[in-house]
Structure 1
Amino acid sequence: MKKLQEIAEEISRNTGVVTSAKDVEKILSASASTNHFWEIITLSQKPFPVVAEAVEILRKEGFVAVTEEKEIKFTEKGMEYLKEQNIFPKRTYTCPHCEGRGINLSLLSDLIKKFDEVTEDRPKAISDYDQGFVTTNTTIARIALMAERGDLEGKKLFVLGDDDLVSIAAGLSQMPKEIVVLEIDDRLVDYINRKAKELNLPIEAMKYDFRDKLPEKYIGYFDTFITDPPETVDALELTIGRGISTLKGEGCAGYFGVTLIEASLEKWNIFQQILTSKFKVAITDIIYDFSHYVNWDYLLTTVGKPYDFVQVEPKLNWYRSSMYRIETLKDSKGIENVYKPVEIYVDEEAIIYKGEKK
């Protein structure tokens, strides 16, 4: 039987993503807990290509079988392998009320209700801009987190990209002094501005591609920024660098999500070095699995390599990201205000493969 390290090396060769024996162990543990592919990703918290390729290798080795319903089940040989490797089903003890965020949303029930009512006609997520918005509870939890850290009430808030409609939720909370949204999707720009006018919210949205220069008037203008960046290293660096350059100076905050589904720990390490060494900011919080995303309609039509077991509708909000909070220091600096062309959406760790869009 193959050793875990041998499986890890095969995954690395086939995907181009550095994979360890421990990664394989976590995927096996997750697979022992559920037979649903998308939940295996959620439980293992490993990049999509790594999980998909691992399941394919396990099937070729006869450790798992895929049913007609696309369920992934261990064979007798596979159960023996788990026992031999001393691997057990993944255990979860996440609080069902706060979903692991540590935020009491019952205190914000009125805001949740109002947000749902106001955004009932929100634009659908589309693949053109890699969109996929978060659940209402996630959006309101972001508002609560920024407020609790003292980064929202009476502050100027900058939102870079807003298919999650954080700007509207923040406006409805009546806490920020001013909210500016820069967004590439004309539909969202028009929608946010229309809602702001109808509801008399202090929001202004404008069309913007973050590869372009920021409007000069917004450099050093805001107290707080929030964004949900694409996850190539270049896109992470540029998005957060833009956000930092909009902040007033020392003691300001930035919020953003990074997944483990499209960003390995190797990528996290590179990005964290950029944050601390290049941008010279402090990472004050990383809240695991903070953001839960609503399943986007175009998922199965745009997933990359055609593993048959992937072609099944998710049963849960499987795509999740951890929330980072950074705080600026005396010498913090963002990206220079120049145009910077980068690959935004696709690398080896993306849900889809090079040459395709998610």
Structure 2
Amino acid sequence: MKQDTERYLAQVARDVNLCEGAAGIKRILVELHRRGTMSIHDMAEATRLPPPTISLILNRLSADGIVHRDKAGARFTEKGMKHVEAGMGIMSLGTVSCGSCDGTGYELDPGNRHSRLFDRIDKIVESRPDADVTVDQAKCTGETIARRLLLLHAWHVFDGNSILFLGDDDFISVAACSPEFLEDYFISDPSIASKPFDVTVIDIDPRILGKIDALGKQLLATNLTTIEQDVRRPLPPGLRNKFDIVFTDPPYTFNGCKLFLSRAIDALKHEKGSRVFLSFGHVSQDMMQQIQALIVQLGFVIDAIYPRFNRYEGGNIIGNMSQLLVLTLGENVHSPINVDEDYHAMLYTASITKDSNPD
């Protein structure tokens, strides 16, 4: 019976063109067994598979009588429960995850410790312009802004460093320069006039830069600079080999990752300790293997990976979440794109079809 079940899972994976194969189908079945009833959104979050893909799989499982779907979500039929327990050995119960940090490792306390910071972040979130999906914008949630600040603080990013945000439709730069964050996480010494760090934001969208500039002036953020720049064009000489840290959330395509990491290399000081904080979608295993190979080929060391760290207001195709990777510059770092050349390959998800090959 087990062999029959394995063949069935493999066939379903082939029918829906699932890169993860039978193992991807099994992940869905295990999570459904543990939780009883699940929405597509919850299933995407638990399995890191795109919601449209999960919907296709559930349609097939429903047609085969394995699951039942209604407004409450998906759950096993009696036949399906027998199938997964007796035929596959899936019998585990749910696990307990950290409710305070949502599994990210960074606990938020909106009611007490972080109440003033959250009040400020709420105002920042309200100020952000609508996302432009043609350039793959997807605004992260207020909680993600706060968690990113805590993570960057834990990695010593704000201690005397020069930081570049390579795109910032999330407005992390503004939140980092807010008095609520500075007063909570840095000593206040009137004899020291300068800020503990400086921030530069590069973005293609003048709406974003205009709002960041306006908020920066309100906050008296003298350490915040904005520059309008399409990263497909070379970085200006004044921005090369200048920064200790680059934070970026590029288009979730191979070319997007390649281009933004290349510009990050151009912008970073080529010194030990220079880092990139890269947010990237939970893409297929095949694509993630290509991304990780690219990261290593460019000369980075992957210091840490935080799965499901970023949550987004939109971005249903990516399951409203993405991972965050911490990359440190290695000995032989190099950019695959000439520092003085334009980049002409397709970049954004809207312009890249499923059959497109990495450039």
- 1:339 equivalenced with 2:359 (yes/no): no
1:188 to 1:249, Cα distance in 2 relative to 1, 3 A: same
- Name the % identity: 25
For residue 176 of structure 1, report the CA deviation from its aligned partner: 5.1
The structure with higher relative contact order (CA 8 Å, sep 6+) is 1
One of 99, 102, 110 as aligned partner of 1:99: 102
1:191 to 1:5, Cα distance in 2 relative to 1, 3 A: farther
Q: CA RMSD in A?
A: 2.8
1:128 to 1:227, Cα distance in 2 relative to 1, 3 A: same
- Residue number in structure 1 paired with 2:54: 51
Structure 1 contact 30–89 (Cα < 8 Å) conserved:
no
- Residue number in structure 2 paired with 1:237: 258
In 2, Cα distance between equivalents of 1:90 and 1:232: 36
- Residue number in structure 1 paired with 2:208: 188
In 1, Cα distance between equivalents of 2:75 and 2:260: 40
1:344 to 1:87, Cα distance in 2 relative to 1, 3 A: farther
Structure 2 contact 134–348 (Cα < 8 Å) conserved:
no
The residue type equivalent to 2:19 in the other structure is V
What per-residue deviation string (whole Å, max 9, x for no partner) do you get for residues 311-358 of structure 1?
A: xxxxxx95222210011123222342221123333399x9x9789xxx
For residue 51 of structure 1, report the CA deviation from its aligned partner: 2.1
The residue type equivalent to 1:60 in the other structure is A
Larger mean CA deviation between 118-127 and 214-223 belongs to: 118-127
- 1:268 equivalenced with 2:271 (yes/no): no
What per-residue deviation string (whole Å, max 9, x for no partner) do you get for residues 89-109 of structure 1?
A: 673422111122222434544
One of 163, 177, 184 as aligned partner of 2:197: 177
In 2, Cα distance between equivalents of 1:73 and 1:224: 46
In 1, Cα distance between equivalents of 2:196 and 2:274: 14
Structure 2 contact 41–51 (Cα < 8 Å) conserved:
no
What per-residue deviation string (whole Å, max 9, x for no partner) do you get for residues 10-43 of structure 1?
A: 434543x423221111011223323311111111
1:82 to 1:5, Cα distance in 2 relative to 1, 3 A: same
Structure 2 contact 19–285 (Cα < 8 Å) conserved:
no
Structure 1 contact 129–185 (Cα < 8 Å) conserved:
no
1:269 to 1:76, Cα distance in 2 relative to 1, 3 A: same
TM-score, with structure 2 as normaliser: 0.82
1:176 to 1:341, Cα distance in 2 relative to 1, 3 A: farther
Structure 1 contact 346–353 (Cα < 8 Å) conserved:
no
One of 269, 275, 295 as aligned partner of 1:248: 269
Structure 2 contact 231–263 (Cα < 8 Å) conserved:
yes
In 1, Cα distance between equivalents of 2:284 and 2:225: 35
- Residue number in structure 2 paired with 1:23: 24
In 2, Cα distance between equivalents of 1:256 and 1:167: 15
Matches within 5 A, 1:87-126: 87-88=90-91, 91-106=94-109, 107-126=113-132
Structure 1 contact 130–345 (Cα < 8 Å) conserved:
yes
Helix, strand or coil at the partner of 1:152: coil
Structure 1 contact 232–343 (Cα < 8 Å) conserved:
no
In 2, Cα distance between equivalents of 1:48 and 1:353: 16
In 2, Cα distance between equivalents of 1:127 and 1:89: 40
- Residue number in structure 2 paired with 1:286: 305
- Residue number in structure 2 paired with 1:327: 328
Helix, strand or coil at the partner of 2:65: coil
In 2, Cα distance between equivalents of 1:4 and 1:60: 18
1:85 to 1:162, Cα distance in 2 relative to 1, 3 A: same
- Residue number in structure 2 paired with 1:219: 240
What per-residue deviation string (whole Å, max 9, x for no partner) do you get for residues 151-200 of structure 1?
A: 22221110111111111011113465321111122221111111112222
In 2, Cα distance between equivalents of 1:185 and 1:274: 27
Unaligned runs of 5+ in 2: 183-194
Larger mean CA deviation between 117-126 and 192-201 belongs to: 117-126
In 2, Cα distance between equivalents of 1:126 and 1:113: 26
For residue 9 of structure 1, report the CA deviation from its aligned partner: 4.3
TM-score, with structure 1 as normaliser: 0.82
The residue type equivalent to 2:348 in the other structure is Y
One of 164, 167, 175 as aligned partner of 1:161: 167
- Residue number in structure 1 paired with 2:280: 258
The residue type equivalent to 1:324 in the other structure is L
Structure 1 contact 36–72 (Cα < 8 Å) conserved:
yes
Unaligned runs of 5+ in 1: 304-316
Larger mean CA deviation between 236-245 and 172-181 belongs to: 172-181
Structure 1 contact 37–71 (Cα < 8 Å) conserved:
yes
Structure 2 contact 16–57 (Cα < 8 Å) conserved:
no
- Residue number in structure 1 paired with 2:230: 209
In 2, Cα distance between equivalents of 1:220 and 1:22: 43
For residue 287 of structure 1, report the CA deviation from its aligned partner: 1.4
1:64 to 1:144, Cα distance in 2 relative to 1, 3 A: same
In 1, Cα distance between equivalents of 2:68 and 2:263: 47
Give every structure 1 segment of 4 or more consecutive aligned residues whose post-TM-superposition deviation is greater than 4 Å: 352-355
Structure 1 contact 19–50 (Cα < 8 Å) conserved:
no
